[in-house]
Amino acid sequence: MRRGLVVLLAVAALAVPAAAEAKVKLVSVTSPAPPGSHATLTVAVSRPATCSIIVMYKSGSSHARGLNPTRSVSGRVSWTWMVGTNTTGGRWPIYVYCGAAGALQTSFVVG
């Protein structure tokens, strides 16, 4: 189910209009993040939006607390989650989708 959501978000990211006012930009991401630590991702959103995040690992999408859809406040959206103690090390993709405001794909390193 979550893998289908990732595909849907990836397709939606490509379909977002390239209007100058519709942008999602990476502000910061914790990287590297050792297993058992907290990671935080912050994005800037050019217009008010509720944004969703998917953190993908080797085993699939993360179900960690803190990865819920979040409304922008003052043009920013942040998520903080615990990187599981058994998470496989490596570079893992993160997908953020903010509707008409745009989308972003980035990654972080666990290890």
Tokens of 25: 């930009």
Residues in the chain: 111
Contact by Cβ (8 Å): 106, 94? yes
Strands 60-61 and 70-71: unpaired
In a 13 Å sphere around the CA of 89, the CA atoms on its Cβ side amount to 3
Q: What is the pTM of this model?
A: 0.82
Digit-coded pLDDT (tens) for 68-107: 999 999 999 999 999 999 999 999 999 999 999 999 999 9
Residue 28 exposed, middle or buried by CB count within 10 Å (0-12, 13-18, 19+): exposed
Pick the closest to residue 6 from 82, 96, 68, 77 (CA basis).
96
Digit-coded pLDDT (tens) for 96-107: 999 999 999 999
Digit-coded pLDDT (tens) for 8-33: 444 444 444 444 556 999 999 999 99
Name the residue with higher pLDDT: 9 or 42. 42
Tokens of 94: 């993160």
Percentage of residues in the chain having pLDDT higher than 90 = 80
* CATH fit for domain 2-110, picks 2.30.40.10, 3.40.50.300, 1.20.1090.10, 2.60.40.1930: 2.60.40.1930
